[in-house]
Amino acid sequence: MTRHRPEVVAFDVDETLLDLAPVRATLVELGEPAPLLGAVFARTLLTGFAAAAVGSWCRFLDAFDASLAQETGLSADQRASVADAFGELSPHPDVEPALRRLTEAGVRVVTLSHGSPGVAEAGLERGGITPLVERSMTSETIRAWKPSREVYLWAAGLCDVAPERMALVAAHGWDVLGARRTGLTGAWFPRSERVFPAVYGEPDVAGAGLAGAVDALLALPPR
């Protein structure tokens, strides 16, 4: 399929745009090793994906709490303090220039998460880049998890564009896979993953970093 320059670019939030450092720091303050966050985050996704796969559903924060309980001996209050740190996230340094490049090129920018409502908005506000983002969407609104097709179709519908006129940028291969299978243009770059999973084929575009992924989207032929 020939991909064209998108009218709307949706960004994944956790890790892709926002740095999870405050969550990691809270774990360390509670005596847990810093690398544990990777295992907890992965188990959180597994929990949510499994629930969705069998026709059930759970909130991101509930899946995160369950994962912390499985991976640590933290009390309920301690786990709650770790979860609260999601409200302290800030954008990675490369986010503002990448989003600005899109908006200056006339491309609409949105966020698409399956995380808790308000997390993306708070992080964007903390980074001073709220004016660059048209809207923030979380699939919690429709009780679904990415990479379910319904999430990307719902997002495209809210943005009033056909899926093929929308792109998703994510540092997670599974997210890009879901977007591509729904008709969106999938853009991947390494942040939390070193390489794009070979079992998923290839992303539509990729970059050595966020800026490269954005440049690759802008370089696609116009309609």
- The dihedral over CA atoms of 19, 159, 176, 3, expressed in degrees to the nearest 10, equals -130
- Each residue's pLDDT tens digit, 81-131: 999 999 999 999 999 999 999 999 999 999 999 988 899 999 999 999 999
Residues 6+ apart with CB under 8 A from 129: 91, 95, 96, 99, 100
Distance CA 24, CA 10 (A): 26
Alpha helices, H only, the chain: 21-29, 36-53, 60-71, 76-84, 95-104, 119-126, 149-158, 173-181, 210-218
Contacts of 26 (CB under 8 A, 6+ apart): 81, 82, 84, 85
- Is the pLDDT reported for residue 181 higher than 80? yes
Is the pLDDT at 185 greater than 90, yes or no?
yes
- The per-residue pLDDT for 92 is 98
Q: What is the pLDDT of residues 56-80, one digit of tens each?
A: 999 999 999 999 999 999 999 999 9
Cα radius of gyration (the chain): 17
> How would residue 223 be classed by pLDDT, with cut points 50, 70 and 90?
confident
pLDDT of 192: 86
> Can you tell me the mean pLDDT for 161-165?
98
Q: Which amino acid, 15?
A: E
Q: Which residues does 116 contact at the CB level (< 8 Å), separation at least 6?
A: 59, 60, 61, 86, 138, 140
Contact 162, 184 (CB under 8 A): no
Please choose, from the candidates 174, 132, 26, the residue with its C-alpha nearest in 3D space to the C-alpha of residue 89: 26
Q: How many CB atoms lie within 10 A of CB 34?
A: 11
Does pLDDT of 1 surpass 80? Answer: no
Nearest to 13 by CA among 49, 53, 41, 33: 41
Beta bridge partners of 135: 110
Residue 123: both structure tokens together: 């992080």
Residue reference for tokens 């188990």: 43
For residue 2, pLDDT beyond 90: no
Residue 5: name the closest of 104, 110, 106, 97 by CA.
Answer: 106
How far is residue 65 CA from its own chain's centroid?
19
The answer on pLDDT for 175 being more than 80 is: yes
Q: Give the max Cα distance, the chain.
A: 55
- Note the pTM of the prediction, 2 decimals: 0.96
